[in-house]
Chain A
Amino acid sequence: MNLNDTPEEAKFRAAARAWLTANARPKDKSKDRTKRVQKPESERLDSARQWQAKKAEAGYAAITWAPEYGGMGGSSIQSVIYAQEEAKFDVQGGFFDIGLGMCIPTMLAWATAEQKERYAKPALYGQEVWCQLFSEPSAGSDVAGLRTKATRDGDEWIINGQKVWTSGAQYCDYGIIVTRSDPNVAKHKGLTFFFLDMKSAGIEVRPIKQMSGESGFNEVFFTDVRVPDSQRLGAVGEGWKVALTTLMNERLAIGQGSGVDYSELLDLARSIELEDGPAIKNANVRSRLADWYVQTQGLKYTKFRTLTALSKGQTPGPESSIGKIVSGPKMQDLASFAMDLQGQGGIMDGDESVMNSAFQSQWMWAAGYRIAGGTDEILRNIVSEQVLGLPQDIRVDKGVSFNELVSNQGK
Chain B
Amino acid sequence: MDFDFSEDQKLLKEQARKFLGDKCDLSQVRKVLEGDAPHHGEVWQGLCELGFAGAAVPEAYGGLGLGTLELCVVAEELGRAIAPVPFSSSIYLAAEAIKLYGSEEQKKLWLPRIASGEIIATLAAAEGTSPPHPRSLKTQISGGKLSGVKLPIADGAEATLAVVLTQDSLALVDLTTGGITRKAVKTIDPTRAHAEITFDNASAELLGAQGEGWQNYCALESRAAILFAFEQVGGAEAAMNMAKDYALERYAFGRQIGSYQAIKHKLADMYVRLELARSNCYYAAMALSEDTADLEIAAATARIAATEAYRFAAQENIQTHGGIGFTWEADAQFHYRRAKLLALTLGGPERWKDRLVSQLEKTNIA
Task: Say whether A308 contacts B4, CB under 8 Å.
Answer: yes
CB proximity of A55 to chain B, nearest CB, Å: 23
Q: Is B255 an interface residue (CB 8 A)?
A: yes
Task: Say whether B268 contacts A380, CB under 8 Å.
Answer: yes
Q: Is A294 an interface residue (CB 8 A)?
A: yes
Query: B residues within 8 A CB of A383?
Result: 268, 271-272
- Chain A residues touching B, majority SS: helix
Chain A residue nearest to B298 (CB atoms) is: A297
Given A280-B361, A390-B248, A393-B259, A381–B264 Cβ distance below 8 Å?
Answer: yes
* Interface positions of A (Cβ within 8 A of B): 1-6, 9, 77, 262-264, 266-267, 280, 283, 286-287, 289-291, 293-295, 297-302, 304-305, 307-309, 311-312, 319, 322, 325-326, 377, 379-381, 383-385, 387-394
B residues 246-261 touching A (CB-CB < 8 Å): 247-248, 255-256, 258-259, 261
Task: Say whether B279 contacts A267, CB under 8 Å.
Answer: no
CB proximity of A358 to chain B, nearest CB, Å: 14
B residues 236-280 touching A (CB-CB < 8 Å): 244, 247-248, 255-256, 258-259, 261, 263-265, 267-269, 271-272, 275-280
Chain B residue nearest to A269 (CB atoms) is: B357
Task: Say whether A380 contacts B305, CB under 8 Å.
Answer: no
CB proximity of A172 to chain B, nearest CB, Å: 34
Task: Say whether A394 contacts B353, CB under 8 Å.
Answer: no
Chain B residue nearest to A319 (CB atoms) is: B275
Additional A-B contacts beyond A383-B271, A387-B271 (17; CB < 8 A):
A1-B5, A1-B285, A5-B1, A9-B1, A262-B366, A263-B365, A291-B304, A298-B305, A302-B279, A319-B278, A322-B272, A377-B261, A380-B269, A388-B268, A388-B271, A389-B248, A390-B247
A325 to B6: give the CA distance in the assembly, Å. 30
A70 to B50: give the CA distance in the assembly, Å. 56
Most chain-B Cβ atoms within 10 A of its Cβ — which of A294, A302, A385? A294
Task: Say whether A1 contacts B4, CB under 8 Å.
Answer: yes
B residues 338-366 touching A (CB-CB < 8 Å): 350, 352-354, 356-357, 360-361, 365-366
A212 to B241: give the CA distance in the assembly, Å. 42
Query: B residues within 8 A CB of A311?
Result: 1-2
- The 8 closest A-B CB pairs, nearest first, are A298-B276, A290-B353, A301-B279, A384-B264, A263-B366, A391-B259, A380-B268, A383-B268
Query: A residues within 8 A CB of B356?
Result: 290, 293-294
CB proximity of A60 to chain B, nearest CB, Å: 19
Given A280-B361, A381-B261, A298–B4 Cβ distance below 8 Å?
Answer: no
Task: Say whether B280 contacts A298, CB under 8 Å.
Answer: yes
A379 to B2: give the CA distance in the assembly, Å. 28
Task: Say whether B267 contacts A308, CB under 8 Å.
Answer: no
Given A294-B304, A295-B276, A390-B259, A1–B350 Cβ distance below 8 Å?
Answer: no
